[in-house]
Amino acid sequence: MLDNLSSGFERNLNPKALFFKTDLCDPGLDEVFHDFKPEAVNHHAAQTSVVRSVREPAYDAKVNIMGSLNLIQKSIKHGVRKFVYACTGGALYGEPKYLPADEKHPIDPSSPYGLSKHMVEHYLNLYGENEGLNWVSLRYANVYGSRQNPKGEAGVVAIFALQMLQGKPCTIFGKGDKTRDYVHISDIVRLNLLAMDNPGKTHYNAGSGLETTDQEMFDTLAELLGYDEKAIYGPVRKGEVYRICLSSAKAQEELGWRPEVRLKEGLQKTVGFYRELAKGSP
CA 14 vs CA 41, 75, 136, 147, 193: distances in Å:
17, 23, 25, 13, 17
H-helix segments, the chain: 29-36, 50-55, 57-61, 68-77, 112-131, 156-165, 185-196, 214-225, 249-255, 263-278
Instruction: Single out the catalytic residue among 113, 127, 140, 227.
Output: 113
**Distance (Å, rounded) from C-alpha 6 to C-alpha 181?**
26
What CA–CA distance (Å, rounded) separates 196 from 135? 9
Rounded to whole angstroms, the Cα distance separating 65 from 212 reads 30
CB 136 within 8 A of CB 85: yes
Identify whether the C-beta of residue 39 lies closer than 8 Å to the C-beta of residue 83: no
Tell me the C-alpha distance between 260 and 80, whole Å. 31
Furthest C-alpha separation in the chain: 58
Sign of CA dihedral 108, 113, 118, 123: positive
| C-alpha angle 159-165-166 in degrees, rounded to nearest 5 | 90
Residue 98 bears catalytic tag: no
Q: Are strands 212-213 and 2-3 parallel, antiparallel or unpaired?
A: unpaired
Collapsing DSSP to helix, strand or coil, 92 comes out as: coil
Catalytic residues: 113
